[in-house]
C-alpha cells in the first residue's frame, strides 16, 4: 500500500502513525498518509513564515509565472490525478453530464490559469499638487487551507492558488478521508516552488484544531460544514485571523409554470445529482407549481431509475457511491424520516446491495418545509420535490432556511425569472441553470452559509490587507 508523505519546508515527511484511505466503491483501503498532530503544524507554520518574505518580495510577474507553472504541473499529471480522485472520492472518471474526476482535475487546471492572470493594481485616490494617495494590497503572511472530502483537489486549488498569487505562503490540511490527490499535487508543486511556500500536513481533528488556534497563521480559508466553521471562527479569535468560510448550503430552485417540465427535467436532475449530490451548490430543494408537479416528479423519477450507478472506474458509470459511511447513514435517516412524515418515494430510497457505500438515486414527493429532508442539507443522492401554488409562497419557502449559498429560478421568461431570483436570500442566484460557477465571478454564501467570497478579483483581494499610502508633495 502506497504511503503519501506530508511536505514541510520542501521536504517529504512520513510518520510512523498512519491513517488508511478508503476507496468508497469497495470499502477497502488503497493508500495511507501520516497521522500528524500539533507538532507538525508548528513545523509547517515555521517553514511558511521563513519562506514568506522572499515570496512576498518577488515581482508580481514572477508569482504569476510560478502559478502558470503549477497549471502545467497539474496538466502533465492529469491522468494520475483523475485516478486518485476517483479512488478516494468514488466519483466517476467522467460521470453524469461529464461531471466527474476529469472535470475536477480539468477545473483545477482552468482555475489555476485564470487565477494566474488576476492582479490587484494600485488604486490612486488623489494625485494633485498637495499629495498623492495610493491604495495598495499587501499579502497577509501565512494562509492555512482546510479542505473537504467532496471535491478535494479542486477546492485545494481554489484555496492555494489565490493565496500564492497574492504573495502568501500556504499550509494545507486536506480532509483525512480524501488526502491523496492533494498530497500528490503538493509533492509535484514542491519541485517547482521554493521550500516552505506550500506545505502539507495530514491528519484529523487535532491538526484542524491546531491550525485554527495557531498564532503564526494569519488567515484560514475553509470549505465544509457550518458547525465546523463556527468552531474555526471561535478558535481563530485569539489572533484575529482573517477568515474565508464557505459553509453548508441547502440550495432551492423554483420552477415557474410557464416552462416545459419535460425539457428542464434532465437539467434539474443533473443539478441535483452530479457528484451524487455531494456538492455544496447542488440543487437540494425543488419547488414546483402545482400545475406541473406530477409531470415533473414523474420525469425526475424516470431519470433516477435510469441513472447508471457503479464503480467510478467502470466505463459508463454516471454516479458513484457516497464518499463515507457516515454520510450514507445521514441519507438513510433522512429518507426514513421523510417516509414517516408522509413523503412518497417515487424512485430509489434504499441502499444498494453491493460492497461500498452505494445508495440508489432517490426522488421524494409529498413533503415540504418542516420535514428534515427539506430543512437539512442531505449531501447525497436524494431530492425532495415540494409543491407551491403562488410565487410569493415559493419565495417564502425557498428563503425559509438558515442557509444562503445558492438558488435558482427556471422559466421561459428570463427577465421575470431574474426579478424573482433577486428576491432569493443567497450569495449566488441563477436563472435556468444551477450551481454554475466560474473562476472570474465571485462565489460565497450569506446567512449561515459562510463569510467572504472566492474567485475573481474579489476572491483574490480576500488574501490581502489594504495599506493606504499618503505622500505629501511638500514637507
Q: What DSSP assignment string belongs to 38-104?
A: HHHHHHHHHHHHHHHHHHHHS-HHHHHHHHHHHHHHHHHTHHHHHHHHHHHH---SS-GGG-SHHHH
Residues 6+ apart with CB under 8 A from 144: 170, 171, 172, 173, 211, 214, 217, 219, 220, 221
Which regions of 201-259 does DSSP assign to beta strands (E)?
219-223, 242-246, 251-255
The DSSP 8-state label assigned to residue 371 in this structure reads S
Match 490612486 to its residue by C-alpha cell: 124
The DSSP 8-state label assigned to residue 5 in this structure reads P
Whole-number Å distance between alpha carbons of 437 and 417? 19
Radius of gyration of the chain (CA): 23
> Of 35, 280, 318, 454, which one is the catalytic site residue?
280
Whole-number Å distance between alpha carbons of 155 and 146? 9
3-state secondary structure of 354: coil
Is 282 noted as a catalytic residue in this protein? no
Residue 78: count other Cβ atoms within 10 Å of its Cβ. Answer: 15
Residue closest to 363 by CA, chosen among 249, 269, 263: 269
Whole-number Å distance between alpha carbons of 18 and 362? 37
Whole-number Å distance between alpha carbons of 302 and 311? 22
Whole-number Å distance between alpha carbons of 382 and 285? 10
Whole-number Å distance between alpha carbons of 197 and 161? 12
Residue closest to 223 by CA, chosen among 281, 278, 148: 148
Task: Identify whether the C-beta of residue 350 lies closer than 8 Å to the C-beta of residue 358.
Answer: no
Dihedral angle sign, alpha carbons of residues 425, 427, 429, 434: negative
DSSP alpha helices (H): ranges in 341-466?
372-375, 391-399, 414-421, 456-461
The DSSP 8-state label assigned to residue 473 in this structure reads S
> Of 246, 318, 377, 462, which one is the catalytic site residue?
246
Q: Catalytic residue numbers?
A: 246, 280
Amino acid at each position: 500500500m502506497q504511503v503519501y508523505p506530508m511536505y514541510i519546508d520542501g521536504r517529504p515527511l512520513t510518520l510512523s502513525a498512519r491513517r488508511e484511505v478508503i476507496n468508497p466503491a469497495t470499502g477497502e483501503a488503497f493508500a495511507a498518509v501520516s497521522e500528524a498532530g500539533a507538532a507538525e503544524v508548528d513545523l509547517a507554520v515555521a517553514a511558511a513564515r521563513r519562506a514568506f518574505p522572499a515570496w512576498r518580495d518577488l515581482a508580481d510577474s514572477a508569482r504569476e509565472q510560478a502559478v502558470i507553472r503549477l497549471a502545467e504541473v497539474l496538466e502533465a499529471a492529469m491522468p494520475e490525478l483523475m485516478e486518485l480522485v476517483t479512488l478516494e472520492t468514488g466519483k466517476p472518471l467522467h460521470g453524469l453530464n461529464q461531471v466527474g474526476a476529469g472535470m475536477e482535475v480539468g477545473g483545477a487546471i482552468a482555475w489555476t490559469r485564470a487565477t494566474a492572470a488576476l492582479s490587484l493594481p494600485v488604486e490612486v485616490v488623489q494625485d494633485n499638487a498637495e499629495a498623492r494617495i495610493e491604495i495598495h494590497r499587501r499579502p497577509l503572511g501565512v494562509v492555512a487551507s482546510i479542505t473537504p472530502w467532496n471535491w478535494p483537489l479542486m477546492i485545494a486549488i481554489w484555496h492555494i492558488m489565490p493565496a500564492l498569487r497574492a504573495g502568501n505562503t500556504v499550509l494545507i490540511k486536506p480532509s483525512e478521508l480524501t488526502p491523496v490527490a492533494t498530497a500528490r499535487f503538493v509533492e509535484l508543486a514542491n519541485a517547482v516552488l521554493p521550500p516552505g511556500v506550500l506545505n502539507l500536513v495530514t491528519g484529523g481533528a487535532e491538526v484542524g484544531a491546531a491550525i485554527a488556534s495557531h498564532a503564526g497563521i494569519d488567515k484560514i480559508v475553509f470549505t465544509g460544514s457550518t458547525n465546523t466553521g463556527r468552531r474555526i471562527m471561535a478558535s481563530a479569535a485569539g489572533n484575529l485571523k482573517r477568515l474565508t468560510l464557505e459553509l453548508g448550503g441547502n440550495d432551492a430552485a423554483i420552477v415557474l409554470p410557464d416552462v416545459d417540465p419535460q425539457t428542464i427535467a434532465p437539467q434539474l436532475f443533473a443539478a441535483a445529482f452530479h457528484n451524487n449530490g455531494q456538492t455544496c451548490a447542488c440543487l437540494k430543494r425543488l419547488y414546483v407549481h402545482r400545475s406541473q408537479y406530477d409531470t415533473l416528479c414523474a420525469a425526475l423519477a424516470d431519470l433516477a431509475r435510469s441513472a447508471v450507478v457503479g464503480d467510478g472506474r467502470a466505463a459508463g458509470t454516471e454516479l458513484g457511491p457516497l464518499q463515507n459511511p457516515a454520510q450514507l447513514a445521514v441519507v438513510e435517516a433522512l429518507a426514513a424520516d421523510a417516509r414517516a412524515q408522509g413523503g412518497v418515494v417515487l424512485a430509489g430510497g434504499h441502499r444498494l446491495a453491493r460492497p461500498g457505500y452505494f445508495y440508489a438515486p432517490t426522488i421524494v414527493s409529498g413533503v415540504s418545509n418542516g420535514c428534515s429532508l427539506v430543512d437539512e442539507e442531505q449531501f447525497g443522492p436524494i431530492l425532495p420535490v415540494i409543491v407551491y401554488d403562488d410565487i410569493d409562497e415559493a419565495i417564502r419557502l425557498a428563503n425559509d432556511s438558515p442557509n444562503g449559498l445558492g438558488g435558482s429560478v427556471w422559466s421561459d421568461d428570463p427577465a421575470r425569472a431574474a426579478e424573482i431570483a433577486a428576491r432569493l436570500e443567497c450569495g449566488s442566484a441563477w436563472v435556468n441553470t444551477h450551481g454554475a460557477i466560474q473562476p472570474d465571478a465571485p462565489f460565497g454564501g450569506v446567512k449561515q452559509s459562510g463569510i467572504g467570497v472566492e474567485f475573481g478579483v474579489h476572491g483574490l483581494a480576500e488574501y490581502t490587507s489594504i495599506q493606504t499610502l499618503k505622500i505629501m508633495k511638500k514637507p
